[in-house]
A and B are shown apart, each in its own frame.
Chain A
């Protein structure tokens, strides 16, 4: 039974059958046992591999060589002398006293081995069953095992390198057969085949979008715009109002095809059967094709907003009131142009000067001429100005080279006021005598002083002209300091630049020329209302001088070609500049050197500009186009808020005479009324 079982063991398959995940049988193979015992056992398992060298070479090392795997074979521990002595005393069985060179261990031999050794040394047979002369086993030689040497030195034959003649013959046979038509190389495609193929390809046989994946839109992808849907006018039977009348039809037919807004004429057909074919159909579709592949595309964002929302918000007109709207009074009397005008500080009268050399004073409310004086026969009055302050009534007028100081008589000036005025005018005569600077020229002649203060002729004195300042240049503008003691005149002449700007002291009858050299041609000047600053406008620049420190503080660059006038806001932080090149410039002195706003609403040169002096947020300008424009200009003391400028009103009325329109404009000191002097010889009062 046992052998049977053994047989069973050997035949038993080296696997087990299990079921896998799918329920199918699965073979799990066991480990294969390699039976190494059957192999050659000559080679010892743990042999030293140092070869045929003495073991003493390794005396210096802790190992004695290497095994087959390259690992060091450790030297066996050598016992102490005592141990070896003990060993020698107690010699174990099989002790030889030798060392096995392969392992380095004491070589122990068994009794049989010793016996064999003994026999060998005695040249005896080592054992009983030993056959010293066994039969030779002829593995490779002998009968039937003669082997020819497989290697040969013969060179490669040529046939290895040329095409096979045999194959060639066979191919040629086939070629011949093909040529003769015995063999068909492929089935010829018949027309039927071709048609079938085409039919198969003609219609889709699969779903292209079977596994579609959306692609995010790329900004450079511009899909073609769709054609707009048809409107009412394209109907075959549109409402009658969509049909073109005769003129429209003619106009459409006359138009070039490309200019037409619509590529067809609306037509009415009373029934569907009457609708003809559309002749342009193919052409239209063709043009659409051309557009699709030929027209450059661009993405354009369409603005679909109410245009009203673009307009800026402006203050309500009712908030902006009052402002002058109509011409209430026209003052006629001047011969020729009226060059200048000025409201008196009380606001009851207007003084004006014109080409006829007269200064006239008008009653503001009625327009009646209250007073007048003729200052010169041939020279025009270039500027008039009232001395500021309610206590006096002094009018200055620049006529030719003279500056006249006038105290108008009559109802204009109550006696006490007149007395005070005379006092002020006469106060300087004592001073004037003493410091006359008698400078002399190189030639020794007394240089005539730049200014002389004197009494005018008696006729003039009788008319109220009590003092005359004679300059050697013609002053064109005059402006008072707020205290009424100083005033500045500007004579824009090119000959004497150093004397162009003069600052006069009324109480001392003194004149100074602060600018020895002035860049540019001086045009006009004014004083700052609160600070000791002096604004001087040359042709293109405006310089601001500090009068205390006597230095240039700022130079504004309005960008105008030729400044005609300036006006300073009563608060002193904003300056208006008018220019002959049709521009009106608003300078915010806190903001910078360039204008805050540039207004261009006049078609002709602007002659003059004026802020309302009494605190109303108004200003007006006078232009050669014969109109005045009134603006709302609100200045807030808060630095962070910009001024708001709103155009209010165009005042028309002055006639344009020889291309000159309105020459001067002035405001009532308190009310929203203004007056303008025109080249047509009138002074108009607007309220």
Chain B
């Protein structure tokens, strides 16, 4: 037998150390440790058994992997931290001696500069790894680019963030890598695909961000430090990958004037090129590709003759031509049967070619109330070459100067309504708001004929759908269709707002709805004389309750008859038994057996008995008005309830045969599924209500 092992010398006890142990081992302060962890991407772990890991009686919360900490021991940054500490001591000493100039000189000359290049390479051995981790970095940098400069956030950092993010956006525009975008209440989500990696980030709306007291900007600044380095290297790689010079030239003057994206001048590695629209068209196309494209064009030309030239006609035509860019494009497969499994298809915008053609033919003008930067970015990223805007939104777009320009095909507006210029076309409902909008210069509040006016959501919905949407739905002042997230994958059993209610509701719900409809119809009949009294929509619950009451009424009649009959022969023991049966809590239901059939049988017998008795008494039987529809429905309901009950019983029975651990797991899964179902059901219920209300309103109108 070997030596008895001492506790805490191997295994998990050795693999993990607490945070205080780690800090002590590295001999740095806690803030320095935090910075180091952020830079190096070291994070605490959750050991499988905390008890086995901690050696002390007091429960520690944070555990680090020992090898992570050992790996930090060799970090060059540690020396920098120590240098910083030494410098701080020197400065404080100088200040203590009242040698201010010395202190200033020390600070100026000796401050160590942290380089994070080696960390980038360590953390992301390949470029794809870096792209995979870009989500948080971009969100953070876009936030900082939109922050006001304060004591905690120096303007230098903000400028750097702005510059890096704009560079990144330029890359996306150039390669048409942007795939999807979504307007949420938090901000605008963008998704780009670079080298097969989906990158999703969130950009806040342009408002002054509220920074609460519980936000520690030092931590965020550390992250931003790292993220700027990372994004700068990524930008370098991306730019050089497509043959551009990095960093791009920044025109300080136009930046001051708020040109944003326009302030950059991209240069390809050979010659310089401006970022103006016209030049961008030519550049970036090499001769080979151009020749290829020409050849293709020449081939497809005879076919094109039948089609109207794109871009000038109505957008509906546009849609059709956009929809089938080439024969190699994928066809959409729409399932006919909603119960069949739907296969996932790559979305239409999935490749750069289609993405780059979406808005290619159009000229956009952005009204001054629209968010200029997101629109410019997204339009350009989806192929639009000419975007103009009002001068009040910053330096005018290099392309078109004024709103009256004839070549503008689309104008994006976000106003209540804009009347058409000619009297016969106006509907005379011009709001008072329009007057406010058009306070200055000429007839600003009137539409310019010959162009399409849309609200900004049209752009986003078109982008996410991969094809142009109907502009009349998005006309100024129109009630917009709901804006849907492009990332939600329809899953079986979950609520999908794009489908109609009938396609997804369960049988039970559908029938409930029918009941409700009929009830309402009845009510409408009854209450026709006294007018409309329903203020809202009757809920399912109420309907069900009402129906239950009706049923109970029926039952009562039947049961009375039975009691009369039974009272003679049987004592009250039976009733007590019955009560017992009902009162006993259901632990395990067992089989339902044939009780229902028995019930039906007894009920039938009872009615027969009642008839007989009535005959004996010489009365006619008060037969309940038999509503065949209702009866059929009831029967269906009973059948469904029975089937449900049986299924439930079967599941219970099988559950009993499972080991306890497995049963717990099963129950947990069922519970989570049930919660999802419940949510979906709730949503369907709400929708049903809303639809009803809409129908009613329509009917009243």
Contacts and interface: CB of A to CB of B under 8 A. Distances in A.
Given A223-B133, A232-B485, A277-B208, A307 B666 contact: yes
B700 interface: no
A234 B455 contact: no
Given A234-B485, A296-B45, A655 B580 contact: yes
A464 to B, nearest CB: 30
Contact of A209 (B130, B140, B200, B497): B130
Contact of B480 (A231, A237, A245): A237
B53 to A, nearest CB: 11
Interface in A593-627: 601, 603, 626-627
A348 to B, nearest CB: 25
A264 B593 contact: no
A159 to B, nearest CB: 39
B653 A272 contact: no
A235 B484 contact: yes
Interface string A235-250: 1111111100100000
A298 B485 contact: no
A511 B282 CA distance: 118
Nearest to B113: A201
Contacts of B487: 229-231
B598 A202 contact: no
B480 A290 contact: no
A310 B589 contact: no
A208 B233 contact: yes
Which residue among A204, A213, A288, A326 has the maximum number of chain B CB atoms within 10 Å of its CB?
A204
A232 B120 contact: no
Contacts of A224: 43, 133, 136
A102 B653 CA distance: 120
B232 A239 contact: no
A283 B43 contact: no
B222 to A, nearest CB: 9
B388 interface: no
Interface string B138-157: 01100100010000000000
Given A206-B236, A208-B233, A296-B44, A653 B577 contact: yes
B691 to A, nearest CB: 9
Contacts of B229: 204
A240 to B, nearest CB: 5
Interface stretch (A76-84, A121-129, A641-649): A641-649
Interface stretch (B78-86, B181-189, B636-644): B181-189
B679 to A, nearest CB: 10
A35 B658 CA distance: 105
A325 B593 contact: yes
B430 interface: no
Interface in B567-595: 573, 576-577, 580-581, 584, 587-591, 593-595
Contact of A285 (B113, B220, B666): B220
Contacts of B62: 294, 296
Interface string A272-284: 1101111111111
Interface in A265-322: 266-267, 269-273, 275-286, 288-290, 292-298, 303, 305, 307, 310-314, 317
Contact of B211 (A212, A282, A307): A282
Given A237-B480, A272-B370, A296-B44, A209 B455 contact: no
Nearest to B216: A286
Contact of A204 (B34, B246, B480): B246
Interface stretch (A214-222, A373-381, A389-397, A514-522): A214-222
A235 B44 contact: no
Interface string B230-266: 0011011100100000110000000000000000000
Contacts of B288: none
A203 interface: yes
A326 B577 contact: no
B326 interface: no
A603 B133 contact: no
Interface stretch (B313-321, B337-345, B513-521, B682-690): B682-690
Contact of B160 (A202, A269, A307): A202
A587 B573 CA distance: 39
B204 A278 contact: yes
Interface string B650-675: 11011111100010011001100100
Interface string B51-66: 0000000000011010
A240 B690 contact: yes
A208 B121 contact: yes
Given A278-B205, A310-B662, A652-B581, A229 B485 contact: yes
B223 interface: yes
Nearest to A218: B67
A227 interface: yes
Contact of A307 (B42, B207, B594, B670): B670
B479 interface: yes
Interface in A177-208: 189, 201-208
Contact of B237 (A207, A230, A279): A207
A204 B46 CA distance: 36
Given A285-B220, A286-B216, A297 B44 contact: yes
B566 to A, nearest CB: 14
A673 B609 CA distance: 30
B232 A296 contact: no
B422 interface: no
A299 B584 CA distance: 46
A265 to B, nearest CB: 9
Given A236-B483, A272-B183, A297 B584 contact: no
A459 B400 CA distance: 126
B38 interface: yes
Given A223-B133, A646-B657, A647-B588, A311 B187 contact: no
A226 interface: yes
B214 interface: yes
Nearest to B689: A241
Nearest to B690: A240
Contact of B414 (A234, A264, A273, A629): A273
Interface in B469-502: 479-480, 482-485, 487-488, 495, 497
Given A282-B211, A311-B658, A230 B182 contact: yes
B529 interface: no
A411 B95 CA distance: 123
Given A208-B117, A239-B482, A310-B665, A232 B488 contact: yes
Contacts of B233: 204, 207-209
A206 B686 CA distance: 57
B238 to A, nearest CB: 10
Nearest to B586: A650
Residue of A229, A298, A626 with most chain B CB atoms under a 10 A cut-off: A229
A276 B216 contact: no
Contact of B44 (A209, A286, A295, A646): A295
A298 B485 CA distance: 30
B456 interface: yes
Most A Cβ at <10 Å: residue of B587, B595, B673: B587
Contacts of B240: 207
A282 B182 contact: no
A293 B246 CA distance: 31
Given A207-B240, A282-B215, A297 B46 contact: yes
B488 to A, nearest CB: 6
A283 B371 CA distance: 24
Nearest to A297: B43
Contacts of B590: 629-630, 647-650
A297 B627 CA distance: 64
Contacts of A295: 43-44
A325 B591 contact: yes
Given A650-B590, A652-B581, A307 B482 contact: no
5 contacts: A281-B186, A281-B209, A313-B654, A601-B656, A647-B588
Given A281-B186, A310-B669, A312-B657, 12 more contacts: A203-B232, A205-B236, A237-B482, A240-B687, A271-B455, A277-B208, A281-B143, A285-B220, A290-B219, A298-B46, A647-B588, A653-B581
